[in-house]
């Protein structure tokens, strides 16, 4: 599976029979003169070299694609038409789709015989009903520009919600809230395996406070800044790359923010408070959307590793049936339940595995199109 970003290419070679990871790596700093990797072509040639050393036949390549636009509700076997659709979604994901496309284009040339599958971050959210994915703006304008909520982190959210539902013994019916808290962060509400709401929107900028992204703000802030003399590009750059935890306190790494907070740093304390407040607000909102919640699942670097963030955002939710077990929360690592046995709403920590999910989705598509 290949995750081709703007400055890096991550790859994993997975044998699904195990599943076993046969090879994994990351080529970084693409385009920087001193890295020696001039472009995506050079990066993927390195990947091809690495992969060719592993014995056995490569059956398929799965590509992570951030934005599938309105067309894709599931992964797609890549052909020229699929490439065109991913190109059509570039205006919706100008930072991500071009890099994903570069990866696809080079990989198709390097391995012309191997089927390639696009796995979209947006696909899992295609079940979100119109009431939740429609922005209340002029509907003609919305249609013309493709403005609606699409949602992202779909691959991780699908994987984690399925596992969490199994962990509470309700694989087919559970109502689940997934909190994917990495550098990017999103919350999603899933009912019986189908996503019904999510915090990221037309782009990954909406919703929770993230490492460098603002999440929700009043859209009038943007006009205010533009009228004040900032260019639209500067405002976008600020909201995407210099906001969130980084904007609030100068650090986007949650571990550093927490260390600074522990030593009494005021900016880091405020950044942490804003982050946790927003997260708690979304948990409450999705409890209301779902009616009953079987399990709240934490994943991503912060969600999996920070017992403190989990405790902070769940404290006060006891009347809603959430009882965190303080011992389980801090004592173990990895995928597990961290609520008490009596808790009406279970709390799970789930180690996400987007790569494995992409490999599985890819295999499903090629088995369907090419049954043996």
Q: Residues with catalytic annotation?
A: 121
Taking CB atoms within 8 Å and a gap of at least 24, the contacts of 307-310 are 307/338, 308/258, 309/181, 309/254, 309/275, 309/276, 309/279, 310/338, 310/347, 310/349
Shortest distance in whole angstroms from residue 325 CB to ligand ADP: 19
Please name every residue paired with 176 in a beta bridge, in sequence order, or none if there are none: 190, 295
Residue 97 or 306: the one with the smaller Cβ distance to ligand ADP is 306
Residue 154 or 211: the one with the smaller Cβ distance to ligand ADP is 211
Closest CA to 66 of 102, 34, 30: 102
Distance of alpha carbon 72 from alpha carbon 235, whole angstroms: 30
Residue 193 or 301: the one with the smaller Cβ distance to ligand ADP is 301
Shortest distance in whole angstroms from residue 197 CB to ligand ADP: 21
How many other CB atoms are there within 10 angstroms of residue 242's CB atom? 15
Quick one: CA torsion of 185, 191, 196, 200, rounded to 10 degrees?
0
Shortest distance in whole angstroms from residue 279 CB to ligand ADP: 13
- 23 and 49 in contact (C-beta within 8 Å)? no
| Residue whose CB is nearest to ligand ADP in the complex, by number | 301
Residue 2 or 168: the one with the smaller Cβ distance to ligand ADP is 2
- Cis previous bond, 174, omega within 30: no
Show Cβ contacts of residue 188 under 8 Å, excluding neighbours closer than 6 positions. 125, 151, 153, 157, 161, 177, 178, 180, 195, 197, 198, 199, 286
Burial 83-110 (b: 16+ CB within 10 A, else e): bebbeebbebbebbbbbbbbbbebbbee
- 3-state SS, 103-118, equals HHHHHHHHCCCCCEEE
Shortest distance in whole angstroms from residue 295 CB to ligand ADP: 20
Shortest distance in whole angstroms from residue 62 CB to ligand ADP: 17
Shortest distance in whole angstroms from residue 331 CB to ligand ADP: 14
Residue 115 or 301: the one with the smaller Cβ distance to ligand ADP is 301
Show Cβ contacts of residue 371 under 8 Å, excluding neighbours closer than 6 positions. none
Residue 68 or 182: the one with the smaller Cβ distance to ligand ADP is 182
Residues at the interface with ligand ADP (CB under 6 A) = 182-184, 211, 253-255, 258, 300-302, 305-306
């Amino acid at each position: 599976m290949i995750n081709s970003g703007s400055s890096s290419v991550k790859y994993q070679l997975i044998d699904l029979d195990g599943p076993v990871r046969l090879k994994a790596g990351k080529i970084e700093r693409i385009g920087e003169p001193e890295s020696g990797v001039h472009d995506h072509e050079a990066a993927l040639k390195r990947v091809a070299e690495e992969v060719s050393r592993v014995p056995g036949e490569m059956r398929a390549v799965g590509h992570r694609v951030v934005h599938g636009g309105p067309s894709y509700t599931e992964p797609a076997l890549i052909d020229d038409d699929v490439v065109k659709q991913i190109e059509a979604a570039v205006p919706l994901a100008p930072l991500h789709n071009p890099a994903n496309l570069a990866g696809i284009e080079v990989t198709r040339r390097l391995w012309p015989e191997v089927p390639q599958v696009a796995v979209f971050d947006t696909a899992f959210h295609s079940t979100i009903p119109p009431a939740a994915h429609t922005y209340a703006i002029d509907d003609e304008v919305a249609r013309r520009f493709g403005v609606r909520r699409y949602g992202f982190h779909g691959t991780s959210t699908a994987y984690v919600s399925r596992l969490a539902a199994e962990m509470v013994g309700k694989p087919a019916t559970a109502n689940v809230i997934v909190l994917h808290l990495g550098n990017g962060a999103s919350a999603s509400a899933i009912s019986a395996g189908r996503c019904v709401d999510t915090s990221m929107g037309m782009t990954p900028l909406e919703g929770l406070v993230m490492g460098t992204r603002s999440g929700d703000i009043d859209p009038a802030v943007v006009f205010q800044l533009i009228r004040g003399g900032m260019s639209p590009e500067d405002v976008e750059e600020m909201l995407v790359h210099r906001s969130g935890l980084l904007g609030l306190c100068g650090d986007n790494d949650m571990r550093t923010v927490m260390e600074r907070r522990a030593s009494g740093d005021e900016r880091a304390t405020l950044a942490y408070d804003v982050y946790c407040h927003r997260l708690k607000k979304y948990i409450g909102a999705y409890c209301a959307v779902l009616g009953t919640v079987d399990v709240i699942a934490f994943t991503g670097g912060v969600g999996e590793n920070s017992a403190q963030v989990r405790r902070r955002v769940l404290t006060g939710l006891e009347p809603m049936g959430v009882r965190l077990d303080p011992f389980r929360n801090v004592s173990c690592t990895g995928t597990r339940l961290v609520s008490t046995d009596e808790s009406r709403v279970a709390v799970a920590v789930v180690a996400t595995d987007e790569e494995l999910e992409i490999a599985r989705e890819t295999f499903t598509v090629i088995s369907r199109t090419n049954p043996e």
